[in-house]
Structure 1
Amino acid sequence: MAFTRATGKHRRASRSARTTRNLAGIATLAAGGVVASVASPAMAATDGARAHDGALRQAVVMGDEIADHVEAQADAQEAVAEAAAAQAKAEAEAAKLAAQAKQRAEEAKKKAEAKAKEEREAKERAAREEERKLLNTFVAPVDGSYVSTAYKASSGLWSSGSHTGIDFHAGTGTPVHAVGAGTIVEAGSGGAYGNNIVIKMADGTYTQYGHLSSFAVSVGQTVTKGQQIGLSGATGNVTGAHLHFEARTSPNYGSDIDPIAYLRAHGVNV
């Protein structure tokens, strides 16, 4: 890269101009020497002036060479300084741009991470919601059946005077399924209910299955929605084979709730 001096910056006169001025000064000095030597012979004055002129000329030339060398060094140092300043400026600008690029990259990374986190949390919420729906979605206890005796139906057949559950039409040996996931809390004789099973459901409610001819689960066992837990029958206080189904707030008799509303709230159309 070429470097130029700023306008108006002082520079020494060229060597030819300096030499011309110096020679003019020598001539003047020589003339003065001749005038000052009027008492001496003319030839001696001329020879002395010539010798003096040669010495001065040689001194001037050497001085100019030294001055030129010094000036060249100064110019080179100035060029180096200007180049160093330009390089430092370029490096500073490059560092600034690099820092800005790094900051933008970090911001982009944070946004991407935040978005990924948000999407992951949304998926987790959706999965939990789906799991909740699955847990709260039941099946009918007997496939393809219907309710043959309604809830709270009145009759002397029941000690309370009314029906505490609903009856599903089912011949002896019909598979009976857990309506939802839960844990077996009772599996055995239930008095008037005959062979019965009580399940604590995942939502904290209870379901009861009565008059079974047999059962295939035991207390403490966990069951899944739709899992077969026994076979329908006519054990206990009955007039014929069927499945008695109850929904309860506790495992005990007398805590019954409307089983039709209960099943419908869990997606079972009865």
Structure 2
Amino acid sequence: MQGVQWPLDYNIIRGRKLSNTYGRFKERFAGCHWGWDFYAGVGTPCYAIADAISIQTYQSSSFGLVLVLEFDHEGRRLFAAYCHLDKAIVQGAGPRNQIKAGDFVAYTGSSGNASNLKGEEEHLHFELRTSVRPLPGEKGRLSPIEIFRKCPLNSPIITPHRTSEMPKRQGMVA
């Protein structure tokens, strides 16, 4: 397996706010946030952070359309959850549908509790999990810093993904 890759071409925490990273924050309404919010306008391509073992999609009232990639990392079985999506491009993994790190997998959206956000508030909510659908709260979730080793809070991490399989979006300029 290749190393872990970033989920977007341009990775920066939304609004450069610490409260949009992982942890407990008194300024957040719920007091906690169990993922990273990457700034991403609606229709931004998302990429697999690792070689996927399996893929699942589901709808959630808070997360909207969610794509979950199951992968192994340093001897652990983990799950990468891409939330508030507009469209998942991949379905299931297997011998005929291999998902490799860096493959195009989804478009960001404004689903779930992100449906009223506009402009610089639009984002990809990204979580690392130890199960596909953990219960509310911290149990079953990991800080993304554990695999990425750094957080793009103040400076973006730019990682252009080169894929020839990205379909053109209807109504979007290529």
Decide which of 4, 15, 21 is 1:150's aligned counterpart.
Answer: 21
Decide which of 122, 128, 137 is 1:241's aligned counterpart.
Answer: 122
Residue 188 in structure 1 maps to residue 58 in structure 2: yes
Amino acid at match of 1:181: D
CA distance in structure 2 between the aligned counterparts of 1:214 and 1:262, rounded to whole angstroms: 25
Partner-residue secondary structure (3-state), 2:11: coil
Residue 218 in structure 1 maps to residue 88 in structure 2: no
Partner-residue secondary structure (3-state), 1:187: strand
Amino acid at match of 2:103: Q
Which stretches of structure 1, 4 residues or more, deviate above 4 A after TM superposition? none
CA distance in structure 1 between the aligned counterparts of 2:105 and 2:55, rounded to whole angstroms: 13
Checking the alignment, whether the CA contact within 8 Å between 1:184 and 1:217 is kept in structure 2 is: no
Calculate the TM-score normalised by the size of structure 1: 0.44
Residue 200 in structure 1 maps to residue 70 in structure 2: yes
Gaps in structure 1 of 5+ consecutive residues:
1-134
Deviation of the 1:136 alpha carbon: 5.1
The alpha-carbon distance between structure 1 residues 223 and 190, as it changes in their structure 2 partners (threshold 3 A), is: farther
Of Structure 1 and Structure 2, the greater helix share is in 1
What are the within-5 Å matches in structure 2 for residues 6-85 of structure 1?
Answer: none
CA distance in structure 2 between the aligned counterparts of 1:166 and 1:189, rounded to whole angstroms: 19
Residue 179 in structure 1 maps to residue 55 in structure 2: no
RMSD of aligned C-alpha atoms?
A: 2.1
Checking the alignment, whether the CA contact within 8 Å between 1:187 and 1:217 is kept in structure 2 is: no
CA distance in structure 1 between the aligned counterparts of 2:2 and 2:34, rounded to whole angstroms: 23
Partner-residue secondary structure (3-state), 1:182: coil
Partner-residue secondary structure (3-state), 2:32: coil
Decide which of 248, 263, 267 is 2:148's aligned counterpart.
Answer: 263
Calculate the TM-score normalised by the size of structure 2: 0.67
Amino acid at match of 1:258: S
Amino acid at match of 2:100: T
Checking the alignment, whether the CA contact within 8 Å between 1:152 and 1:164 is kept in structure 2 is: yes
Partner-residue secondary structure (3-state), 2:23: coil
The alpha-carbon distance between structure 1 residues 235 and 198, as it changes in their structure 2 partners (threshold 3 A), is: same
Deviations 1:152-195 (A, max 9, x none): 15322x5xx41110011110000000101013332131331111
CA distance in structure 1 between the aligned counterparts of 2:104 and 2:52, rounded to whole angstroms: 13
Deviations 1:56-112 (A, max 9, x none): xxxxxxxxxxxxxxxxxxxxxxxxxxxxxxxxxxxxxxxxxxxxxxxxxxxxxxxxx
Of Structure 1 and Structure 2, the greater strand share is in 2
